[in-house]
Amino acid sequence: MSSDTRSARVCVTNAKGGTGKTTIAINVAGALNERGRDVLFVDLDPQGNATEGLGLLDAYDRAPPTFFDVLTDHRQRDRAGELVVEHGEMDVLPSNIDLLQAEHELTIADLVARVKDDPELAVDPSALASLGINVTPESVSGPHALDVLDEALAGIEDEYDYVIIDSPPFYGKLTDTGIYAAQHILVPALTEATSERAIELLIDQMAALEGQTGITVETMGVVANRVEKTNEDRQMLAWLNEVFDEFPVWEVRKRVALQRAFKAGKSVFAADEQVDMADVFLDIAAAFDERFGFASDSTHEVTHD
């Protein structure tokens, strides 16, 4: 286990869509499993791309209680373990179609927390709570309501070395709850000019979240994804290395095999074919192990060509 008392948690996050965030998250989890780690994969995206990519569509459509209830109803927060589904490489806390309502619910909960924490606002918490489904003034305590995933994981994480959280591809309360629970982020980015603004917004978002909650968010590194051999790619890699000069920047080249593995419901490590990018994900997993205190007892030797 990690040297910390709880499992090591990492949130894979970038609000820009199309970065391959979910593919990266699944393959990092697969690489950790390859190194002998017990992994819980949390699909926090209401669209359920990871749940689908791991072959668990039935879980996405299951009847309540669902992940939505665990996050928004304090009376059901301890039921997260009932939702966990086994996968060949990792356990999965799947997304569910009901999560489409979670952003609204968590926003109301956070507003209730703020008005309860600041009486000078002179707003009736009950009036705000009436706009939600599961939120009540009694269910919210503290200056914010971003700790719901943290609380849900606390009851099940003892079984795992790692919790990998795949966040939604947008900024909002769901993403904030994922980052708050993990307090460590891995940032996927495309090597194209539009990524600059997305990275700048991410940095601003982390600063705002830290200011609101008092936590410190640690960047584990950046994954430059779908890298090709163009001038724009080279320029963006240079920019990413400059902006994240204190952190590793891993390069994942564009490979059809990654998408084939995704469509097969598994990481590249469980796929029937070899792909050179597997070593990159093993490098990421090795860096995680070193950061969280697993490096000395790894069961998998990482080799490089």
How do residues 31-63 score in pLDDT, each as one tens digit? 999 999 999 999 999 999 999 999 999 999 999
Q: How far apart are CA 123 and CA 163, in angstroms?
A: 37
How do residues 73-129 score in pLDDT, each as one tens digit? 999 999 999 999 999 999 999 999 999 999 999 999 999 999 999 988 889 999 999
Tokens of 157: 């994480």
Residue 208: name the closest of 241, 175, 239, 186 by CA.
Answer: 175
Residue 2 binned pLDDT confidence (cut-offs 50, 70, 90): very low
8-288 belongs to which CATH class?
alpha beta
**Cβ-contact 168, 14 below 8 angstroms:** no
Rounded to the nearest integer, the mean pLDDT of the chain is 92
Q: Is the pLDDT of residue 71 over 60?
A: yes
pTM of the model: 0.94
The residue behind tokens 């982020």 is 185
**Cβ-contact 39, 89 below 8 angstroms:** yes
Parse the chain into domains and list their residue ranges: 8-288
ω into 65 cis (within 30 of 0):
yes
pLDDT at 301: 45
Q: Is the pLDDT of residue 191 over 60?
A: yes
> SS3 of 93, please?
strand
- In 51-173, DSSP assigns E strands to 85-86, 91-93, 162-166
**Cβ-contact 135, 101 below 8 angstroms:** no
Q: How far apart are CA 281 and CA 143, in angstroms?
A: 38
Torsion over CA of 112, 115, 119 and 122, rounded to 10 degrees?
-100
Q: How far apart are CA 227 and CA 92, in angstroms?
A: 29
